[in-house]
Structure 1
Amino acid sequence: MKDTLKKWLGGLLIVGMVGCGSAETDSASSSSQVSNKSVGQSGVKDDVSNPNVVQVAVGSADHSTLVAALQAADYVDALTNVGPFTVFAPVNTAFDELPAGTLESLVKPENQRKLRDILEYHVLLGVYKKGDFLSGRKMGTADGRSVEINVDEAGEVYVNGGKILGTVEASNGIIHVIDKVLVPN
């Protein structure tokens, strides 16, 4: 009886090892994997889960300038983490409204910290839906400053004068699309 039990447990152990081995092979070839480069959370390829705030921005033709700025500021990994975040995401045309040469200057490597400060000024820690914003409320941003919220009579929400055009939920927070680049004073 003991010999039969040993053989049966040994067989289970071998089946378990083979099964684990094939699971490792399967997971290595699946769409959810880490690239071989030494990168942070943004290096994880995942086409199955709900997209995070950066993946949503990457998928939006209206946010290509924002994505380029996130990359130049080395801020992609921070926003692909768990969060939760509320991100005020300026559309491409909002960047066009900046004074001539501003964006070109900010994306230079020597201005990376300044660009990152500006991008962090667009991020709140926690999830704030449009209905959570109250007129006159000041909200602390990821860079340690505050933005001011205003709600007009029609219920339109403005952040430092930038109008929220739409809202998209993401796996690690919420994105409010805005028509203005928020520049800290």
Structure 2
Amino acid sequence: MKDILKFILGAILISFSVGCDDAKTESETSSISENRSVGQSGVVDDMSNPNVVQVAISSADHSTLVAALQAADYVDALTNVGPFTVFAPVNAAFDQLPAGTLESLVKPENQRKLRDILEYHVLLGVYKKADLVHGRKMGTADGRSVEIEILENGDVLVNGGKIIGTVEASNGVIHVIDKVLVPN
């Protein structure tokens, strides 16, 4: 009789233990599936060095670029590990585009075209200013290439856009430029 009671008590404890583990697993699974829709850009990390998107977001001179990244659904791609070299036009560079161009590009039906333009500003790999060589054509994330020009005074141009500053990020380097690069 004692053996039967021990067996029943043991079965109850095992059932209870398994049931608790299942509940925990369901809770964990629910939490994981909720986070799947967030994407890399939704990860909050205030301890690490900022990535290229976080650097752009923190710059008042790049609010138009950030809005374009969001409209093109390109934020998550640039928050990933990389490494990336990003040629980041300042707001004034976007102002130099023909009237209505930016307004047209941020429309949902032009998302792919906008993303192609933004990918034209990205190189895969880290290329610091010293790595840029006169006359070199460098492949961009959209499959095209940009050409580097080094002037006698040391200024570096990318398809005619002048690099006016450089900022390192956790997943690459950002060269601030004074022109929006538009692929041919």
Short-chain TM bin: 0.7 to 0.9
Which protein is bigger by CA-based radius of gyration? 2
In structure 1, stretches of 5+ residues that fail to align are: 1-34
Partners in 2 of 1:109 and 1:80 — Cα distance? 22
The structure in which a higher percent of residues are helix is 2
CA deviation string 1:53-94 (max 9, x = no partner): 000000000000000000000000000000000000000000
Q: Which residue of 2 aligns with 1:93?
A: 92
Partners in 1 of 2:38 and 2:159 — Cα distance? 34
Q: Which residue of 1 aligns with 2:119?
A: 120
Q: Secondary structure at the match of 2:168?
A: strand
Partners in 2 of 1:88 and 1:36 — Cα distance? 31
Partners in 2 of 1:138 and 1:130 — Cα distance? 14
Partners in 1 of 2:153 and 2:104 — Cα distance? 38
CA deviation string 1:160-181 (max 9, x = no partner): 0000000000000000000000
1:120 maps to a residue whose letter is: E
Q: Percent identity?
A: 87
1:78 maps to a residue whose letter is: A
Partners in 2 of 1:86 and 1:125 — Cα distance? 6
Runs (4+) of structure 1 exceeding 6 A deviation are none
Q: Secondary structure at the match of 2:97?
A: coil
Q: Secondary structure at the match of 1:45?
A: coil
CA-CA distance at 1:38 after TM superposition: 1.8
In structure 2, stretches of 5+ residues that fail to align are: 1-33
Q: Which residue of 2 aligns with 1:103?
A: 102
